[in-house]
Amino acid sequence: MNTEPLLTTPFDASATAAEVLHGVDLTGRRAVVTGGASGIGTETVRALATAGAKVTIATRRPVSAEPLIRELSAVPGAGPVRAEALDLSDLASVDTFARTWRGPLDILVANAGIMALPTRTVTARGWEMQLATNFLGHFALAGALHARLREAGSARIVVVSSGAHRSAPFDFDDPHFARRPYDPWTAYGQSKSAEVLFTVAARRWADDGITANALSPGYILTALQRHLDDDTMRAFGVMDAEGNLTPLPHYKTPAQGAATSVLLAASPLLTGVTGRYFEDNQEARVVHGDEERPGGVAAHALDPRAADRLWEYAADALR
């Protein structure tokens, strides 16, 4: 676990992705953003491309990225943007995406995700779908692109996790809910803990010039909530009686939610930093036990032994 002072930046929780990258020139840099056709993924793509990066949107439906591609093609100085098919729950799709990538990769933003599937759903391999999509698919993708990341000489992996990780450590005995009762939020929290642990274990790639950090984007209304019913949304206080979405005062816009993603992806303030967890554009404090104060990163998600164990588990699962 990192024992250095928490890293701070001049950007607060209200900063947007564009503000974080103001003055940063990414011309010649190449980036992949999974789930980049919607929500904070779109804002991440927009900020990186506007700063000059060449961005590939990896999405299940490349056609959904066409409006964003057209928009950015008209922005002076913006890097080229394209979309390629990627289904993180399908290892054949991950393999195809990685095999067709040519040349170095400077930035990999593991942004795509699903949340709180109401019933237990598994992939063809028997993997619980949230763990498969949020963690195992991204783990497979990063591994398959490792040589391309190493080729860049100074590459960054950015993993979009969630504060929900605090609720559920990774269950090595039954990660896919084959025996324990399935709970949508426990499954989601576990997948997000796994994402943070992945960045801790990725310290093994530091000698290849690859850093990896995780983040919570904060509360934002996006398509991520598509599996939640109206009663749940009302219970959260973000939907009125007529079914209109009503963000709470502490909710962010997608552009603000993407700020920490692009901070980790491209800001010179993060050069050489790896294995850490950020929120609101700052490194998060460590939370132990059942502390009720919001925010922070759970100690179980930064445990280097659990991280190494998870790496080996995931590597075995992919064989």
Question: pLDDT tens digits for 258-315?
Answer: 999 999 999 999 999 999 999 999 999 999 877 777 899 999 999 999 999 999 999 9
pLDDT score recorded for residue 240? 62
Q: Which residue has the higher pLDDT, 46 or 288?
A: 46
Phi, psi of 220 (to 5 degrees): -145, 140
The yes/no answer on whether domain 17-217+254-318 falls in CATH 3.40.50.720 is yes
Distance CA 107, CA 212 (A): 10
Task: Tell me the pLDDT band of 250, cut-offs 50, 70 and 90.
Answer: low
pLDDT for residue 128 is more than 70: yes
Greater model confidence, 298 or 4: 298
CB 308 within 8 A of CB 6: no
What are the extents of the domains in the chain?
Answer: 17-217+254-318, 223-251
SS3 per residue for 44-66: HHHHHHHCCCEEEEEECCHHHHH
**Three-class SS state of 161:** coil
SS3 252: strand
The CA-CA-CA angle for residues 257, 25, 22, to 5°, reads 45
**Cα(270)–Cα(179) distance, rounded to whole angstroms?**
41
H-type helices in 77-214, by residue range?
Answer: 91-99, 129-131, 137-144, 146-152, 184-201
Q: Where are the alpha helices (DSSP H) in 146-183?
A: 146-152
Among 21-25, 77-81, 130-134, 222-226, name the one with the lowest average pLDDT.
222-226
Q: What is the pLDDT of residues 171-212, one digit of tens each?
A: 999 999 999 999 999 999 999 999 999 999 999 999 999 999
Strand (E) or helix (H) holding 210: strand 210-216
Distance separating alpha carbons of residues 311 and 127, to the nearest angstrom: 16
Q: How confident is the model at residue 116 (pLDDT cuts 50, 70, 90)?
A: confident
Question: What does the pLDDT read at residue 251?
Answer: 75
Report residue 9: phi and psi, to 5°.
-135, 170
Give the sign of the dihedral formed by CA 319, CA 156, CA 281, CA 21.
negative
Catalytic annotation, pick one of 182, 188, 219, 277: 188
Integer Cα distance of 285 and 80 in angstroms: 37
Amino acid at 104: P
At residue 290, the pLDDT reads 74
| CA neighbours closer than 13 Å in the CB half-sphere of residue 84 | 18
- Determine what percent of the chain is predicted with pLDDT higher than 70: 90
CB 213 within 8 A of CB 267: no
Amino acid code (one letter) for 226: R
Q: What is the structure's pLDDT at 302?
A: 98
Query: Mind giving me the DSSP string for 295-312?
Result: --EEGGGS-HHHHHHHHH
* Average pLDDT, integer, range 96-119: 95
pLDDT at residue 222 tops 80: no
Say how far apart CA 268 and CA 140 lie, in whole Å. Answer: 27
pLDDT in tens, 136-171: 999 999 999 999 999 999 999 999 999 999 999 999
Residue 234 pLDDT > 60:
no
Percentage of the chain modeled with pLDDT above 90: 85
Look at residue 233 in the predicted model and tell me its pLDDT: 46
Q: 223 falls in which pLDDT band (50, 70, 90)?
A: low
- Catalytic site includes residue 251: no
Q: Average pLDDT in the 88-97 region?
A: 97
Chain position carrying tokens 């990066």: 53
Given the structure tokens 């929290």, which residue do they identify?
Answer: 189
Q: How confident is the model at residue 67 (pLDDT cuts 50, 70, 90)?
A: very high
Closest CA to 14 of 269, 266, 260: 260
Q: In whole numbers, what is the pLDDT of the chain averaged over residues?
A: 92
